[in-house]
Amino acid sequence: MKRWSVDCKATVKIGDFSRGGQTRGDAQALDHDLGGKEKYTPCGIVDEDSAHLAMVFGSSYKTRDFLVDTLAAKWNRLEEQEKAEVSKLQIKMDNGPESSGRRTQFLSRMVEFADAIGKPIQLLYYPPYHSKYNPIERCWGILEQHWNGTKLIDAKTMLEWAKSMTWKGLHPVVELSQQVYQKGVRLRKKAMEVVEARLERDPKLPQYDILIQPASTAYPYSDVYFCHESTHVVCCSCIPRITGGDRGCYQPVGPLAKALRFPPLT
């Protein structure tokens, strides 16, 4: 089992701003960070077993899609042998607004991610006011201590300072993302019902412990379609029986159409 700790840090503003530390040489800096237009949001993933740390600095909004794309990039960097040896991917995070166990778009993307990698994913959430126990939080503390007193005048300076920090003796993998993300992306109620059917929530801690099985083991059948007229959710193999062969008003359920697999209805 591979264990990852995940979190996004507060936005980093670029400019001649004081960062509260001490430095030598040019010590003139702005004591207020008002007016800074260029800013980046760091998202970090630390492997709890190997101590490998990866950080992506995004120039767009801190969204669910940004978080899942960062997870996917981390997975894609693994060697094929390492991927094959993973029996389950366990992800620890706080129950924040981007990754909550009730966020429709985040859970939808995580189901897609589980299907894409073909591995079970377990989402473990820290309860309110306990996110400080998440290992990635300690990485952010070390980064702040590392570049305090430094004027992050541009993105290159920010990235170089992030690369030069160490976590348990290892330098992190640091990337810059210029991908533009949209805020407020949500699934409709019917589409979310399809996603929810894929989630195995712990009976005692349904919001804090969620298991997602990949489609190959969960529902090894046909694609799911949603009827906008009758609000029914059916699988592709049932459409000919219902509509006489024409899909008609039945449409794939959003981005999950190619990923989700459900058994035929009876």
What pLDDT, on the 0 to 100 scale, is given for residue 152?
87
pLDDT band at 227 (very low <50, low <70, confident <90, very high): very low
Q: Please indicate, yes or no, whether residues 123 and 247 belong to a single structural domain of this protein.
A: no
Last residue of a domain, one of 111, 145, 177: 177
47 has a pLDDT exceeding 60: yes
DSSP 8-state class, residue 42: E
Last residue of a domain, one of 152, 177, 202: 177
Q: Please indicate, yes or no, whether residues 30 and 127 belong to a single structural domain of this protein.
A: yes
Q: Please indicate, yes or no, whether residues 41 and 128 belong to a single structural domain of this protein.
A: yes
What pLDDT, on the 0 to 100 scale, is given for residue 22?
60
Among 75, 122, 115, which Cα is nearest to 256's? Answer: 115
What pLDDT, on the 0 to 100 scale, is given for residue 16?
77
Q: Please indicate, yes or no, whether residues 243 and 146 belong to a single structural domain of this protein.
A: no
Query: Which CATH number does the domain housing residue 53 bear?
Result: 3.30.420
231-244 tens-digit pLDDT: 444 444 444 434 44
- The domain in which residue 90 lies consists of 2-177
170-190 tens-digit pLDDT: 999 999 999 999 888 888 888
Q: Please indicate, yes or no, whether residues 172 and 225 belong to a single structural domain of this protein.
A: no
Any residues with CB less than 8 A from the CB of 229 and at least 6 apart, and which?
A: 249
Contact by Cβ (8 Å): 225, 247: yes
Q: What predicted TM-score, i.e. pTM, was given to this entire model?
A: 0.76
SS3 content of the chain, % helix, strand, coil (to 5): 30, 25, 45
Q: Please indicate, yes or no, whether residues 23 and 74 belong to a single structural domain of this protein.
A: yes
Structure tokens at 28: 């003139």
Would residue 186 count as lying in a domain? no
Q: Please indicate, yes or no, whether residues 14 and 69 belong to a single structural domain of this protein.
A: yes
Q: Please indicate, yes or no, whether residues 123 and 252 belong to a single structural domain of this protein.
A: no
62-98 tens-digit pLDDT: 888 999 999 999 999 999 999 999 999 999 998 887 7
Would residue 199 count as lying in a domain? no
Q: Please indicate, yes or no, whether residues 62 and 147 belong to a single structural domain of this protein.
A: yes
DSSP 8-state class, residue 127: P
Q: What is the number of domains present in the chain?
A: 2
Q: Please indicate, yes or no, whether residues 159 and 250 belong to a single structural domain of this protein.
A: no
Q: Which residues are 43's β-sheet partners?
A: 8, 56
Pairing of strands 121-126, 89-94: parallel
Structure tokens at 235: 């699988």
Q: Please indicate, yes or no, whether residues 126 and 48 belong to a single structural domain of this protein.
A: yes
CA distance 205 to 126: 11
